[in-house]
Amino acid sequence: MKAFIYDKYGPPQTLCMTEAGQPAPDAGEVLVKVLAISVNTADWHSMRGKPLFSHATLGLPGQGKVVVEMA
């Protein structure tokens, strides 16, 4: 799968698209195929390191469908 990653604070140019392995869900978890995400103002502030404690995953508001469910 493709993923955008960043390993340092900075402008949008610090994002890098890369290939990542597909995660495997553990018991009681599901694997969701993300169909759409939203990157908003809070995401951009996090990327810039403002506030400093907010290094988080970008694009958390998203939509997808469950493709694997582990009972």
Please list the residues that pair with 16 across neighbouring strands.
5
**What pLDDT is attached to residue 14?**
83
E-strand spans in the chain?
2-5, 16-19, 30-37, 62-69
DSSP bridge pairs for 3: 18
Cis peptide bond N-terminal to 25, omega within 30: no
3 state DSSP class of 12: helix
Query: For residue 8, what are the domain limits?
Result: 2-69
Three-class SS of residue 13? helix
| Domain count for the chain | 1
Q: What is the pLDDT of residues 13-30, one digit of tens each?
A: 888 889 989 888 888 888
pLDDT of residue 59: 59
